[in-house]
Structure formats: structure tokens, C-alpha cells
Amino acid sequence: MPHTPPQLQVGGETGQVRGRRRLVWLRLLVLLVFAVLAARLWQLQILEGDRYRLQAAGNRFALQTVPAPRGVIYDRIGRILARNVVSFDVTVVPASVPEEQEETILRTLAALLDIPLNNYAALAQASLGEDSVADPPPPLDPNCGEPGLLECFRVAKQAPYRAIRVGRDVPADRAFQLLEQAVFLPGVFVEPKPKRLYVYGPLLGHILGYMMPVSQEFLEQAPSSEEYELVDEAGVAGVEASFERELRGRKGRKLVEKDVFGREVRVLYEVPPEPGYNIFLTIDVDLQRVATEALRRGLEEVGSPRGAVVALDPRDGQILALVSLPSYDNNLFVGPISPADYQMLLEDERKPLFNTAISGAFAPGSIFKLVTASAALQEGVITPQTRLSAPGIIYLPNKYFPDDPDLAQPFYDWLPAGHGVINVVRALARSSDVFFYKVAGGFPGEIEGLGIERLARWARMFGLGELTRVDLPGEAAGLVPTPTWKRQALGETWVTGDTYNLAIGQGFLTVTPLQMANVTAAVANGGTLYRPQLVYQVQDAEGNVIKGFRPEVLRHVPVDPDNLAIVREGMRGAVAWPDGTASFAGLPTSVAVAGKTGTAEYCDPLPDLSDCRRNENGYLVTHAWFTAFAPYENPEIVLLVFVHGNGREVLEGSKVAAPIAAEILRYWFEERAR
């Protein structure tokens, strides 16, 4: 463009001409710009179109897994114990909240969900409960880090398409209120989610267990065919864990088209999920409740920290009740559990998550005499007629100086007066210690004795020292001590005194309440050791039986039925004879009950002292046991009660454990609608 000096005349000819020429340039500029834009468009749409089409599809389509409804758990007569309910989460997508309605919507939301509108309200709410300075209120959503809704929303707006979760597990009525007002609350979404509900809470906490979000390790170990994802939960305790595979079902999958908020617009393809199998437990909820209440009262009365009740059907090993106190509400784990709640459960001194009935191994005391008696009879060490003197104290001569009475070791009976000269039935009924010392360890000049090897073998034959393989995780095996074990573990030689102790269920022997219930069941049913089972039936969602109940025999304990009958006679005597150990326990008389008490000394080590806790008279503190079956002639239930020692007193099985069993048996035989 040539340079021309400014024109002075208004609207002069030169200006006119130049103006028109400039307009030609303007046309060229228009063409050029639109050509550039068209070229760019060609590049995006034609040259790179495929790439963007893929991205658009990635935006819109998602292959989603559809969670399978978890199986429902019932008790033996079909009462629902665990089921799935809907829980509602409330989320807000900042991008779809109209700016001019922001304040109104957030206010409504805060009021409906009862969440703090701003940080100030959150602070006020947090410090309301306590007098002292409160902890800082928790963030509303981890993504925003602010406890107040307004502040949280403001932070979340920086990534406006990411939803913030402002309400978890909102009550159904609130959720429906929100849904009704959905038109006035754009950007607020209510998301239904399945949630496990444990109808009876702590009553069945230990049996049903709970689920937790799967860990990275779990994912790596699980076979890929089971299709676990990081967002899934899996049972980690109780039946939820041991029947995870049955309860879980099979995930479905679907290809969906979704909008920008992730909401499903259209399902293009779907493989429906297969619901998990429903499980019927062998548990009778009513018996469980009665047993729990009886045990709870019993524990409170003596100030015991924990206890257990096991009820079995001796004819097939079905578990009718399995109580462990203290328990916990497994609904706490739904949702999933908050770190604070979990911490609280783990740090609770009473260890509520510990299943005493199957995981606790304790000295059984005199209830072990069932094993000693059965073994001695079967090995021919004694006959039913064999009578031994059972004084209040015996002196075991020193092995190396058998003639020096000063070196002899005294062994005491629980009854200082002793029981006279008695046979095995009476020894069981009176729970003579000395009789069983002699039978197990021998006594010079009177009886040869079983010896440790044979006694230990019989103990293992009755299932002690090994898992019962009950359908629950976390079972303990307990310990049946042997000379080899003692040498290896303690570096000491086995002595006859150890055998004496083992004979009456003391010393190194530890057992779980469930193991002892199973021993009793074997005695009651004539020698069959069943695997204790919790599941009566597995059904698919249509009610077809996938797996019915079949008794599983762990072992036929090779004791002649006649010999077991003798042991049962002793147990009956303990209950029925006026001087039987359980005769004053108030056991029901309407049914013939047979039982065995146990008062097991245990060492509760004192800090700083090389001694264990003792009562005021210097005796070691004890656990209280009672194991029973009924009816005597035709046993249909085995009941075992364990009350952990309180650390201060001698808790006698006959006074502490047997009355609890009495209450439960009275219910079972007298009050239960049969």
C-alpha cells in the first residue's frame, strides 16, 4: 500500500477510492480467515476424525460390572439373619448446579441431610458434644477437605464434573424427600447402593462375621475367574468369610451409554448377574438368644470378662448355638466400617472381635476326665469295677529316692476329705482328682496307669490338639502335651506329675470350648466324632437345594460303646446323685441330664512377680466349665458352658457354669415350643 499524506478535504475523492480498495482487502481477509478455519476443521474432522471418534466413544460407553446380590443367610427354621437393603448416598456435581440457585440448593441440602452448611456450623456441631476443645470436624468428602457444605462445594467447583459425596447411608425417608424435590435440586443426585443388614446384630456377630473392602493382597491371591475388583468387599470373618464363594454369586456385566454425569442413558448389552446362594444355618436363633442372655448374666454375676456356650446336636454335629461374649455388632462393618470404629474394636480390652468359642484355648480342668476315663477303660487299665482309694492327698514318691518320704511330691484332691474307695463312675460323678491321677500316671503298689503316651494319643483321638474344621475362620487347635513336646518347647523332661496334671485337664493342656463340646458329643453318641457344622442347607435364588446337610464324620473314636456307657453313667451321676458335683446347679429334672463340671486353674501371670494370680486363700484362680448332654438315654443336645476366670476368685464349674447350662436346658426342654 503506497503511502499517501492525510487528506484534508472531507469525504474527498481520494478517501472514497481508498476506502473502496480497503474493502477489497477486507474481502480477502474474510476469505483467508475462513479458509484457515476450514483447513483446521478438515484436520480435526477428516484427518484426525478416527481418533476423536474413539475418544467420544470412550466418553460415552462403559463396560460396567453389575454386582450380584449377595446370598441371604437364614437360621435353621428360615428366619432372616443377614440380608441386603438399599442404602442411599447423596452426591453433588458442581457443574450442574445453576450458579444463581447455588445458595438455595446447598441450604436445602444441608437442612435435609443434617450436615453443616459451613465450616463454622461444623465447628459448632463438633464441639457441642464435649466440654473440652473438640477435634477438628472431619471433611465432608475427602476430595474437598472441608467440613462445611458451602466451603466443600467451593473447592469442588475447581473440578466441576467430579461429584462430591455429601451424604453416606442417608435414611430412606430423607432420600425419598430428596428424590421428590429433585426438580428443584439440579446437580444433586441420590445413588442407591446395596447394603448388608445383620438383623440380629451382636447376637450373631461372631457367627455371621463381616465383610471388608478387598485388599490389594487379596486381589492378587484371588483367582482371576472370581473377578474381584478393588471396589468390592469380601467376607473376612464368620460365615461371610467361610461361605464367601457361595454367598457372592456371579457378577453380571453390561455395556452402557452414559451422560456426562455418569448416569446411565441406555443399556446396549447385558449379562445379568447371578445372585449368590442363600444359606440356612444350623443355628436356632431362639436358643442362641437364650444362651447369650444366660451367659451374659452368668458372666456379670462373677465379673468374668468372657465366656462361651456351644450347643451341638450329638447325632450329626449340627451347631445349634455358638455364643461368644463379648460380641460386637457386625452392622458396624457395613458401609464399610469407619477407621475410628475399627480402631475402637481392635483396641477394646475385652477383645470383642475374638471368638472365644472356637479361637480361645484354655485348660479344660475336670471335664477332660471324660477322655481320661474313656481311655483307661478302653485300654483295660481299669474296668468299671476297679476301685481305687481316693483320699484328699497323695504323695508321689521321688523317682530316684522312692524310699524317702521327704522327697515325695504331694498331689491334692479338690476335696481335702477325699472320696473314699471308689470306682470310675463315682469318680466321674464326684470328680475325684486322685482317682484319675492314679489311673493316668499310675501309683506304686496300686495301679500301673495309662502313661502319658497313651493318654495323649486318646486325647488326640477325641479331636483335641487339632482343628474341628468348623465352618468358621480363626479356629484354634489347642495343645495336647507330650514328652517330646515338653522337651522341645521347654527343654525339660516329662515327669509323672505332668501326667497327673494332664489326667485332670490341667498343666500344659489347652482346648477350645468347641473341641470339648465335640468330645462330649462323641461320648454321648457312642464314639462318633463329627465335624461341627454351621450350614444346614445351601439354596440357589430359586430355592433349589444346591447342597443339603450331610453329617461329616471326623473319626470313629475306637472306644467300645459299653465303656462310653460307663462314662455317661458317671456324668449322669454328677447330675442326678445327691452328692454329684452338679446336683445343686438347678439342672432341669423333667429331662435326664448328664454332665461334667470343670474348675480349671490357670496361670494369669502377675506383672513383676514370677507367680500367677491367686485368690485370698492362695489358690490359683480358675475358669469354670460345664459340659452336658440330654436326654441321658437318647442324647439330642450337647451343651458346653465356659466362663473365663475373673482373675480374683476360684470360679467353680458347678456353681458358675452349670447354672447357666441349667437355664439353657430348661428353655430347650421345657419352654421351647417344639
Partner 1 sequence: MNRRAWRNFDYSLLVLSLTLVAYGWLMVRSAQPPDRPYALYQLLWIGVGLVCSLGVSLIDYRLLNHLARPLYVVLVLALGMVLVMGRTAFGGQRWLAVLFFTVQPSELAKVGLIVILATFLGRRAVGFRTVAISFLLVVPLAGLIFLQPSLSTALILFAIWGGMLFVAGAPVRYFLSGGVASVAALPLAWNYVLQEYMRERIRIFLNPLADPGGSGYNLLQSRIAIGAGGLLGQGYGAGGQSQLGYLRVRHTDFIFSVIAEELGFLGAFVLFVLLVILLFRLIHIAQEARDAQGRLIVAGVAVMIFFQAAVNIGVNVGLLPPTGVSLPFISYGGSNLITLFLGLGLAQSVALRRHALEFD
Q: Where along the sequence are the contacts to partner 1 (CB under 8 A)?
A: 1, 3-4, 6-12, 15-16, 18-20, 22-23, 25-27, 29-31, 33-34, 36-38, 40-42, 44-46, 48-49, 51-53, 55-57, 59-60, 95, 99-100, 158-162, 257-261, 265
Minimum distance from residue 148 beta carbon to partner 1 (Å): 21
Minimum distance from residue 237 beta carbon to partner 1 (Å): 38
Q: Print the SS3 string covering 162-186.
A: CCEEEEEEECHHHHHHHHHCHHHCC
Minimum distance from residue 354 beta carbon to partner 1 (Å): 45
Minimum distance from residue 15 beta carbon to partner 1 (Å): 5
Spatial CA neighbour of 313 closest among 357, 283, 343: 283
Nine-digit cell at 525? 453318641
Nearer to partner 1, 16 or 589 (CB): 16
Minimum distance from residue 104 beta carbon to partner 1 (Å): 15
Nearer to partner 1, 178 or 600 (CB): 178
DSSP structural state of residue 119: H
Q: Would you say 82 and 281 are in contact if contact means Cβ atoms under 8 Å apart?
A: no
Spatial CA neighbour of 465 closest among 508, 497, 402, 522: 508
Nearer to partner 1, 23 or 393 (CB): 23
Tell me the backbone φ, ψ of residue 321, rounded to 5 degrees: -155, 145
Q: What whole-number distance in Å separates Cα of residue 667 and Cα of residue 292?
A: 12
Separation in Å, CA 504 to CA 373, 408, 458, 546: 10, 20, 14, 45
DSSP letters for 322-334 = EEEES---GGGGT
Minimum distance from residue 40 beta carbon to partner 1 (Å): 5
Q: Return the ∠ at Cα 574 (arms to 573 and 576), rounded to 5°.
A: 55
User: 457 CB contacts (<8 Å, ≥6 apart)?
Assistant: none
Minimum distance from residue 232 beta carbon to partner 1 (Å): 25
Minimum distance from residue 260 beta carbon to partner 1 (Å): 4
Spatial CA neighbour of 209 closest among 317, 358, 344, 338: 358
User: 143 CB contacts (<8 Å, ≥6 apart)?
Assistant: 156, 162, 164
Nearer to partner 1, 183 or 609 (CB): 183
Minimum distance from residue 255 beta carbon to partner 1 (Å): 14
Q: What whole-number distance in Å separates Cα of residue 84 and Cα of residue 194?
A: 6
Q: Is the peptide bond before 391 cis (omega within 30 degrees of 0)?
A: no
Nearer to partner 1, 133 or 183 (CB): 183
Cα-trace Rg, the chain: 37
Minimum distance from residue 252 beta carbon to partner 1 (Å): 23
Nearer to partner 1, 61 or 342 (CB): 61
Nine-digit cell at 673? 415350643
Nearer to partner 1, 35 or 545 (CB): 35
Minimum distance from residue 32 beta carbon to partner 1 (Å): 10
How many CA atoms within 13 Å lie on the side-chain side of 618?
Answer: 0
Minimum distance from residue 163 beta carbon to partner 1 (Å): 11
Nine-digit cell at 410? 504331694
The CB density around residue 594, as the number of other CB atoms within 10 Å, is 30
Nearer to partner 1, 100 or 135 (CB): 100
Q: Give the CA diameter of the chain.
A: 150
Q: Where are the beta strands (DSSP E) in 477-616?
A: 528-530, 535-539, 545-547, 553-556, 594-601
Element (H, E) at 300: helix 285-302
Nearer to partner 1, 63 or 85 (CB): 63
Minimum distance from residue 61 beta carbon to partner 1 (Å): 9
Nearer to partner 1, 158 or 225 (CB): 158
Type of residue at 505:
G
Minimum distance from residue 287 beta carbon to partner 1 (Å): 56
How many CA atoms within 13 Å lie on the side-chain side of 208?
Answer: 34
DSSP letters for 213-233 = EPPHHHHHHS-GGG---TT-E
Nearer to partner 1, 45 or 493 (CB): 45
Nine-digit cell at 543? 430355592
Q: Is the peptide bond before 551 cis (omega within 30 degrees of 0)?
A: no
Spatial CA neighbour of 534 closest among 358, 335, 338: 358
Tell me the backbone φ, ψ of residue 123, rounded to 5 degrees: -65, -45
Nearer to partner 1, 8 or 609 (CB): 8
Nearer to partner 1, 60 or 387 (CB): 60
Q: What whole-number distance in Å separates Cα of residue 251 and Cα of residue 232?
A: 11
Minimum distance from residue 266 beta carbon to partner 1 (Å): 10
Nine-digit cell at 335? 458401609
Minimum distance from residue 45 beta carbon to partner 1 (Å): 5
Q: What whole-number distance in Å separates Cα of residue 147 and Cα of residue 144?
A: 9
CA end-to-end span of the chain: 113
The CB density around residue 551, as the number of other CB atoms within 10 Å, is 13
Q: Would you say 207 and 283 are in contact if contact means Cβ atoms under 8 Å apart?
A: yes
Minimum distance from residue 258 beta carbon to partner 1 (Å): 7
Nearer to partner 1, 161 or 401 (CB): 161
Nearer to partner 1, 41 or 546 (CB): 41
Nearer to partner 1, 50 or 616 (CB): 50
Nearer to partner 1, 12 or 138 (CB): 12
